[in-house]
Amino acid sequence: MLVEIRDQAFEPFAEVKGFQDNIAQQGQYGATAIFIGTMRDFNEGDEVSEMLLEHYPGMTEKYLQGISRQAEQRWPLAESLIIHRVGKVYPNEPIVVVAVWSAHRGAAYEANRYLMEELKARAPFWKKESLQEGDRWVERNTSGH
Amino acid sequence: MSIQVRFFASLREQLGQGGCEIPAAQAATVQEVWEVATQGQALPQNILSALNMEYVALDHPVADGDEVAYFPPVTGG
pLDDT per residue over B20-49, tens digit each?
Answer: 999 999 999 999 999 999 999 999 999 999
Q: Please tell me which residue of chain A has the smallest CA distance to B67.
A: A59
Residues B21 and B19: their CA atoms lie apart, in Å, by 7
Q: Please tell me which residue of chain A has the smallest CA distance to B50.
A: A59
Residues in chain B within 8 Å Cβ distance of A127: 75-76
Interface of B with A in 35-74 (CB under 8 A): 50, 53-55, 69, 71-74
What does the pLDDT read at residue A143?
A: 82
CA distance readout (Å), B34 to A7, B12, B54: 30, 13, 16
Which pLDDT band holds residue A145 (cuts at 50, 70, 90)?
confident
Continuous segment of H or E residues that includes residue B12: helix B9-15
CATH assignment of A2-137? Answer: 3.90.1170.40
B76:A127 CB<8 A: yes
Neighbours of A90 (CB within 10 A): 13
B18 touching chain A per CB within 8 A:
no
Mean pLDDT of chain B: 98
Does B76 fall in a domain? no
- Condensed to tens digits (0 to 9), the pLDDT of residues A15-67 reads 999 999 999 889 999 999 999 999 999 998 999 999 999 999 999 999 999 99
Does B26 fall in a domain? yes
Write down the domain spans for chain A.
Answer: 2-137
Residues B60 and A131: their CA atoms lie apart, in Å, by 39
Give the DSSP letter string of chain A.
-EEEEESS---HHHHHHHHHHT-SSTTT--EEEEEEEE--SEETTEE--EEEEEE-TTHHHHHHHHHHHHHHHHS-EEEEEEEEE-EEE-TTSEEEEEEEEESSHHHHHHHHHHHHHHHHHHS-EEEEEEETTEEEE---PPP--
A83 touching chain B per CB within 8 A:
no
What does the pLDDT read at residue B5?
A: 98
Does B77 fall in a domain? no
What's B15's domain CATH number? 3.10.20.30
Tally of domains within chain B? 1
What does the pLDDT read at residue A19?
A: 98
Neighbours of A145 (CB within 10 A): 5
Residues in chain B within 8 Å Cβ distance of A63: 53
pLDDT > 90? residue A131: yes
What does the pLDDT read at residue B42?
A: 96
A37:B8 CB<8 A: no
Residues A43 and B77: their CA atoms lie apart, in Å, by 14
pLDDT > 90? residue A144: no
Angle at B39 between CA B36 and CA B41, to 5 degrees: 105
Residue B35's domain spans which residues? 2-71
- Condensed to tens digits (0 to 9), the pLDDT of residues A56-101 reads 999 999 999 999 999 999 999 999 999 999 999 999 999 999 999 9
pLDDT > 90? residue B10: yes
A145 touching chain B per CB within 8 A:
no
pLDDT > 90? residue A109: yes
Neighbours of A125 (CB within 10 A): 28
What does the pLDDT read at residue B14?
A: 97
